[in-house]
Amino acid sequence: MYELIEDIGALNRAIKEIRYDSTIGVDLEADSMFHYREKVCLLQIASQHHTFIIDPLAVKDLSSLLPIFKDHKIRKIFHGADYDIRSLFRDFGITVNGLFDTQIAARYLGIKAFGLADLLNDILGISIKKKFQKKDWSKRPLPQDMLAYAAEDVFYLIPLSKRLEAELRDRQRFLWVLEECDVLSKARPAPNACNPLFMNFKGASRLDPRSLAVLEMILELRNQIAKRRDLPPFKILSNEKISEIVDKKPCTEKELEAFEGLSPLQKKMLGRSLLKKVNETMNFPENTLPLYPRKEKIRVPPHVSKRVKLLKEWREKKSRKIKLHPALIMTNGQITSLAFARPTLNRDLGKISEIRTWQRQVFGSEICGLLSGTD
């Protein structure tokens, strides 16, 4: 059972019910597949005894929730929290302290199938269906079966977290997960737009200046249309199709008609505008064409490369021994930092900001010993 919260009075009553709980489960539903600017459309909170579904499209002010999410003493159970953490901050200014992410917990237990449905089935023997995952949660009124689905998604998080925590403590990895969750809780949304737009387009760095200019013009066109029609940009024109247009650069109606990358409807609706943009760009003077900004590559000296190789070999052996994915033990970025710094004492290891406390405590002596034998 759940209670649907659609006014500030009901929200305040719900807060009185959960404010003294030590643990709550949290999930949200958004409309990123259906609108130009995505937004949180439901916020689900489950305590030991109650499940609440808060409708932020009806309750405009959620500021009364801020103290609960900020309170370190209240553990917040999420699954795959990265998107949720960013969305809560973006839409409501909510910061999350005391995070426990069941997906991170599962990964640090070496569980390969760490989706929520898989974990609930394998650990609790509970089967849930994800049939409403890609629905438009901004529509009102929401059907009862969609609301029940939203409640079910959050209802089992607390018992799931207890099982995962017990296993983590048994393997002495609980503090590892808490620290990783603390880092994740500080994630923040990226800026709404890149300038230029091609900076956020996969493969743009490999394009010549003329193609880069065509890409930027098409991305601007797509963005304008998407905003006007209140649709996600990919529903106007996919990145794959944009890449094909940039490659072919159709300049005439005949070339566009022969172009197989667009459907007849897209050619009818977008064809004229696309041709105009491509032709404009093809006439840009060479000295006005954009260049993809290159980051200066950090030169890695041979002796540092040897340390990187040594640390990666150590990581692979450790991965097999403790049955954990290598990247969870240490990322490539962390290994590179270690290779440059070459700490030989644990106190030196503590000066490298990229290295977690748990990594230093668990692997510090091994790492320092390994690096002390290098040049």
DSSP notation for 184-216: HTT--PPPS--SSGGGGSTTGGGS-HHHHHHHH
Assign domain 3-184 to its CATH superfamily: Ribonuclease H-like superfamily/Ribonuclease H (3.30.420.10)
Q: What average pLDDT does the structure give for the chain?
A: 95
Any bridge partners for residue 215, and if so which? none
Q: What is the pLDDT of residue 193?
A: 64
Segment 241-284, tens digit of pLDDT: 999 999 999 999 999 998 888 999 999 999 999 999 999 999 99
Closest C-alpha to 44, from 34, 36, 52: 52
CA of residue 141 relative to chain centroid, distance: 28
CB proximity list for 272: less than 8 A, separation 6 or greater:
none
Q: How far are the Cα atoms of 32, 114, 363 from residue 140, in angstroms, in the given order?
A: 16, 32, 52
Return the amino acid letter for 370.
Answer: L
CA of residue 243 relative to chain centroid, distance: 24
CATH number of 302-372: 1.10.150.80
Q: What is the pLDDT of residue 187?
A: 97
Cβ contact 318:329 at 8 Å: yes
**Beta strand spans in the chain (E):** 3-5, 23-30, 40-46, 51-54, 75-78, 99-101
**Longest Cα separation, the chain:** 70
CATH 3.30.420.10 spans which residues of the chain? 3-184
Cβ contact 176:100 at 8 Å: no
pTM over 0.85: yes
Query: What share of residues in the chain are helix, strand, coil (percent, to 5)?
Result: 55, 10, 35
Segment 151-164, tens digit of pLDDT: 998 999 999 999 99
CATH classification (class only), 197-288: mainly alpha
**CA trace torsion 359, 364, 369, 371 (10° rounding):** 50
The pLDDT-based confidence of 185 (bands split at 50, 70, 90) is very high
CATH 1.10.150.80 spans which residues of the chain? 197-288, 302-372
Cβ contact 165:159 at 8 Å: no
